[in-house]
Structure 1
């Protein structure tokens, strides 16, 4: 699912929170946050429309994968961006993701503690479980299960650490990959075993991973800023199959 470059009106409509220090926007799935080597649509190219009176556009305080939707934090000036960067670096910002996975755990909640390392140099950012890799921890909780048809489970995922592709690799390593994952999902793994290239098909779902909520403790004297992003349309059918009521 590739998304066109957002217009100024479209990117402004995606602002979930705005104050003098930061913005939280609802990132659409299917668009990278950075400009890639081959060009194309990217979220940063629309940030000029988010100045809201300040002399410079906001900048990314962290990143989300191209196919992940939801809460994305931007710093509105250099000092704020530096402060946000430290909060992210030291694990002070709590993040909750929604995912719909194939199959699912037997238990209702748990912790995945699986170190991760780079898959290989050719694959760039792709990761794999690696006993000699970096410590990587994810908390998870079942929010619902599909009662009919294909077995699906709706999970809340909380990354304690922030490794690249952590949630996607952790879910796949547990035997319940995220629906629509074209790198670590079931169909992608089968294609690699057969040495087949990845060619997306129209009947394949998009990645069912959404940055649902973020809590940012920016001020020591105030409660954290908590922001929630609505579930995107491409998640609705499978979330409803797992008992989601639309809120």
Structure 2
């Protein structure tokens, strides 16, 4: 089943699908999913609390070292600030736990779209490289020699959809859910994601992007009765414009 946009929100958040148990939104690039306790900017969690106050206590909050409690109403997974696309929200605790179990069991299929630097040689492939902490920057992760700490399994499948003018447009299907996995893996094979200021800071901005060229395109999961549901977040305008340039 493919969910369709039902309602537009004036601040840029679009509802892709909604029923009594789940909410799927298309998160715009630049929006943080939830607070880290340090910044006061508006977050997706704030929008959820404003529009769905009844699910305030659904999910699992974060308790900081200071004792501050960060609400994560119904949020089962997250996207980086600069990544756009589909994100699931559970509207009750039973659904939250059901979805959480699927994520932990790797039963949920997520697909991304990305523009990367360079015209990739192979039409498809698998990046199977463990990920650890970067030795250079605490904010970063690494799938290369010199990474610190425990190395965690990380597998990413990809397929090239378009290539040209020194860039590739790829479908990316991560099989594990490590932090920054897609960004780290494509950097490791010398095809970093376009406009990645953290993992490719010396690369020129390209294809008109003012943010990371990564979009969470679709997600497939099981409903409580065993039926599968697939939801998609259409490509944003900057992706559509970039496609005309390669």
Q: 2:102 is paired with a residue of what secondary structure? A: helix
Matched, 1:101 2:116: yes
Larger strand percent = 2
| Long gaps (5+) in structure 1 | 1-7, 192-199, 243-247
State the match for 1:32 in structure 2. 32
Matched, 1:229 2:244: no
Alpha-carbon distance in structure 2 between the residues aligned to 1:220 and 1:173: 40
Alpha-carbon distance in structure 2 between the residues aligned to 1:121 and 1:61: 30
State the match for 1:205 in structure 2. 210
State the match for 1:165 in structure 2. 180
Q: Which string of whole-angstrom CA distances, capped at 9 and with x for unpartnered residues, describes residues 125-171 of structure 1? A: x200157610100000011112xxx4110000000000000000101
Structure-to-structure mapping, 1:69-88, within 5 angstroms: 69-88=84-103
Question: How much has 1:216 moved relative to structure 2?
Answer: 1.1
State the match for 1:129 in structure 2. 143
| Long gaps (5+) in structure 2 | 1-7, 57-72
Matched, 1:65 2:66: no
Cα distance, 1:87–1:136 mapped onto 2, change above 3 Å: same
Q: Which string of whole-angstrom CA distances, capped at 9 and with x for unpartnered residues, describes residues 19-38 of structure 1? A: 12111100000111011312
Cα distance, 1:56–1:82 mapped onto 2, change above 3 Å: same
Give TM-score scaled by structure 2 length: 0.80
The alignment covers a number of residue pairs equal to 217
Question: How much has 1:105 moved relative to structure 2?
Answer: 1.8
Question: How much has 1:50 moved relative to structure 2?
Answer: 3.8
Q: Which string of whole-angstrom CA distances, capped at 9 and with x for unpartnered residues, describes residues 52-92 of structure 1? A: xx832452110000000001010101111111111111111
State the match for 1:194 in structure 2. none
State the match for 1:216 in structure 2. 221
Cα distance, 1:204–1:24 mapped onto 2, change above 3 Å: closer
Question: How much has 1:122 moved relative to structure 2?
Answer: 5.6
State the match for 1:245 in structure 2. none
Matched, 1:92 2:107: yes
Cα distance, 1:190–1:172 mapped onto 2, change above 3 Å: same
Cα distance, 1:160–1:43 mapped onto 2, change above 3 Å: same
Alignment check: 8 A CA contact 2:106 2:176 kept: yes
Structure-to-structure mapping, 1:125-204, within 5 angstroms: 126-130=140-144, 133-146=151-164, 150-185=165-200, 188-189=201-202
Q: 2:31 is paired with a residue of what secondary structure? A: coil
